[in-house]
Amino acid sequence: MPPKRAPPATAKPPPLDPDSREAFEAELRALASKAAEETLSKTLHEQAAAFLPAFVLLSLLALASLASQRALSPVYGAIPAAQWHPHLVGAACFAGWSSNLALGRTLPFRPALLLPVLALWMPTAQFALERASGALTARWGPLVVEGVTLFPLVALSAACVATYLDGADLSWLPRWMADAAPGIGSYGLFKGVEGVVAGVLEGEYVGSTVLATRVGLELVLGASYALLAPSKMLLLAVPALLHTAVWNTHVPTAGALARLNQGMAKDGWVVLERKESVTGYISVIESKGDGFRLLRCDHSLLGGEWVKFIGQGRFKGNQVAEPVYGVFAMLEAVRLVKMPKRIVDSEAKALVIGLGVGTTPGAFVAHGIDTTVVEIDPVVHEFASKYFQLPKNHTAVIQDAVSYTDTLATQTPEAFDYIVHDVFTGGAEPIPLFTLEFLQNLHALLKPYGVIAINYAADFALPPPMIVVNTIRHVFPSCRIFREHPRNEEQYAKDASDFVNMVIFCTKRLNDPIAFRQPTARDLLNSPSREAFLLPQHEVRDTDFTEGRDDGVLTRNDTGKLARWHGRTAVGHWTVMRTVLPEGVWVGW
């Protein structure tokens, strides 16, 4: 009898008897597998429905927080605008998070539907409230504006995030952690996204398009909220959009600028050009009646020139502009400091940190000095070249001065005969440019017989001026300090404030006390401002500093000793600026 053949390898097993035990178990396994797949899909869907909208809302909230601060800085300055901000955001987050259930039961509609309406009304509300900035002051104005605009948006966003995360399954976490994780995680994500977005907004793309400007960013924000929560309630935002399109002069369009200038014409002012850049809102403004032109950055002035004198009378053919502010002429007195070894202009090299309108580098170039200017903001350099008399024959370095000097001090020490340090803006100094480490770089870059002049503006009744002077003297052994003008005793008696520009002249030589030679006609460059202000007059004594003697020097790792005074300094500067230009010029921007 022949042997049986084995079945082919591809042969299917015989079907199971539907009534058999094996068939029943197979069916159970299939049902269990299907149930597991459906449960996993459902769980993933539910978790996505909870976490994804929460993530989007928190990201938009970070953008809203930054947009609000940027919108306030031209009217209040960046530092006053930020004083109340973290406290207000924290309070709004707490209010919204703790009331999410009550809010959902109270409103007859889904709370998220209100978010685009609130966001789209922000530019209009800010525009209206800024008209009252003079009465509100820099101390309270930012709080009022963000209390009306940002607080409800943050609170409602926090409530919506809390509602979404109520559906999140955190059972895999310990109980104590699961209770706190949504709130802590949400706030951490918000701050993380805020930091990332801030880096982008402060980079090279700021102001590059309409959407990358202050009002444009708020419109992008409103549109994003509308995509997230579309509804018929968006009709409530139509009046705000109409106002932004037709009447809001802050919109960076030619039509908005024309409307702004129509309103400012009655007071004799005009905005020649404006842009938003890495250091803030930059504009060139001109007083038609008085005949001078200023460069503005947020709620601060970087310098100015008299334009009515150009080409007129004795000024015809002048090599330099006539500065509006005397302190900029005083900085040029670095050339007047007597040194054992005479510095010849045609052989000298100068480094100017902080351009402004180019008054000091313009004078250096007129004297035949090889001049390098370090300026972090490309728009400042653009406007100084276009609207002010900044000569072309200088070396422009558009870079952060800290990184530039870090590199240069190592590669090319003792490179400059003169260094002018003039970086004050917005009511406070950029702290990294006054640290011990930065000044040590400048010391390394200065030639043995060189001179440095440092402009610093602050309230002499507060500690920062003494801290800065302590740090400068720690690096440069021989210094003298001069004020722009004498103390206003009446003002000082009234509110104990003494806000003024001072210039610190220093050398590297301990045994050579600083003295100035009398300026010649060539030094004065046929300039009445230089005749009045070039030679320093109002010397500052140590007894003029009332605070900060024991605060030591300022280092990169200990900037808090200066930063904590920024609020008061910036508010004082804001008050001074409101006396320099009419309120309408500041709020019109």
- 425 DSSP β-pair partners: 428
CB atoms within 10 A of CB 511: 7
Domain assignment of residue 334, yes or no:
yes
Last residue of a domain, one of 187, 217, 252: 252
DSSP 541-558: PGGG--S-TTS----TT-
The confidence score (pLDDT) of residue 18 equals 62
Residue 80: phi and psi, rounded to 5, are: -60, -35
Read off the tokens for 266: 């009655």
Cα 87–Cα 91–Cα 95 angle in degrees, nearest 5 = 170
Spatial separation of the C-alpha atoms in residues 247 and 241, rounded to whole Å = 10
Measured distance CA(257)–CA(94) in Å, rounded? 40
Residue 451: name the closest of 540, 515, 529 by CA: 515
Distances (CA, A) of 539 to 157, 331, 335, 504, 505: 55, 14, 18, 10, 11
Residue 578's nearest CA partner among 134, 70, 80, 82 is 134
Which among 252, 268, 285 is the end of a domain? 252
* 312 within some domain: no
What is the number of structural domains in the chain? Answer: 2
Tell me, yes or no, whether 63 lies in a domain.
yes
pTM over the 0.85 mark: yes
Residue 1: the pLDDT is: 47
**What's the confidence (pLDDT) of residue 102?**
83
CA neighbor of 548 nearest in space, from 493, 439, 473: 473
**What is residue 457's predicted lDDT score, i.e. its pLDDT?**
87
User: Are 381 and 524 contained in the same domain?
Assistant: yes
Residue 14 covered by a domain: no
Ranges of beta strands (E only) in 376-498 are 395-398, 416-422, 446-459, 478-483
Per residue in 278-324, pLDDT tens? 999 999 999 999 999 999 999 999 999 999 999 898 999 899 999 99
Q: Partners of 280 in the beta sheet?
A: 277
Strand 499-507 and strand 280-287: the pairing is unpaired
**Same domain? 130 vs 222:** yes
Kind plus residue range of the DSSP H or E element containing 495: helix 489-495
d(CA 84, CA 377): 27
Last residue of a domain, one of 235, 252, 269: 252
**Measured torsion, CA atoms of residues 563, 565, 569, 574, in degrees rounded to the nearest 10:** 70
Are residues 336 and 230 both part of a single domain?
no
Cα 199 to Cα 262: distance, rounded to the nearest angstrom:
36
Determine the angle formed by the axes of helices 21-76 and 133-148, rounding to 10 degrees: 180
pLDDT tens column, 252-268: 999 999 999 999 999 89
Here the CATH number for the domain that contains residue 547 is 3.40.50.150
437 and 521 belong to one structural domain: yes
Domain-embedded: residue 131? yes
Q: Say whether 500 sits in a helix, a strand or coil.
A: strand
Considering the domain architecture, whether residues 236 and 349 belong to the same structural domain is answered as no
Tokens 């049986």, located at residue: 4
Label residue 276 left, alpha or beta by phi (over 0 means left) and psi (-120 to 50 means alpha): beta
Domain membership of residue 194 (yes or no) is yes
245 lies in the same domain as 342: no
Q: Residue 132: CA atoms inside 13 Å, Cβ hemisphere, count?
A: 11
For residue 429, give both structure tokens: 């100094």
Q: What is the pLDDT, as a whole number, of residue 117?
A: 97
Looking at the structure, do residues 564 and 450 belong to the same domain, yes or no?
yes
Rounded (5°) CA angle 17-23-27: 145
Is 239 in the same domain as 365? Answer: no
pLDDT value of residue 567: 87
Q: Give me the residue label for tokens 């930012």.
A: 142
CB atoms within 10 A of CB 30: 10
How much is the pLDDT for 317? 87
CB distance 372 to 351 below 8 Å: yes
Q: Does residue 320 sit in helix, strand or coil?
A: coil
Interatomic CA distance for residues 11 and 14, integer angstroms: 9
Tell me the residue range of the domain where 566 lies: 325-584
What is the distance between the alpha carbons of residues 204 and 546, in angstroms, rounded to a whole number?
A: 42
On whether both 190 and 330 belong to a single domain, the answer is no
Whether the CB-CB separation of 487 and 500 falls below 8 Å is answered with yes
Instruction: Give the per-residue pLDDT at 36.
Output: 54
C-alpha dihedral over 490, 496, 498, 499, to 10 degrees? -120
Question: Quick one: 68 and 198 in the same domain?
Answer: yes
CA 317, 318, 320, 323 torsion-angle sign: negative
Q: Which residues of the chain have pLDDT under 70?
A: 1-28, 30-43, 425-427
Q: Is residue 9 part of a domain?
A: no
Domain assignment present for residue 244? The answer is yes
**Do 96 and 231 lie in a common domain?**
yes
Domain shared by 373 and 228, yes or no: no
Contact by Cβ (8 Å): 193, 55: no
What type of residue is 540? V
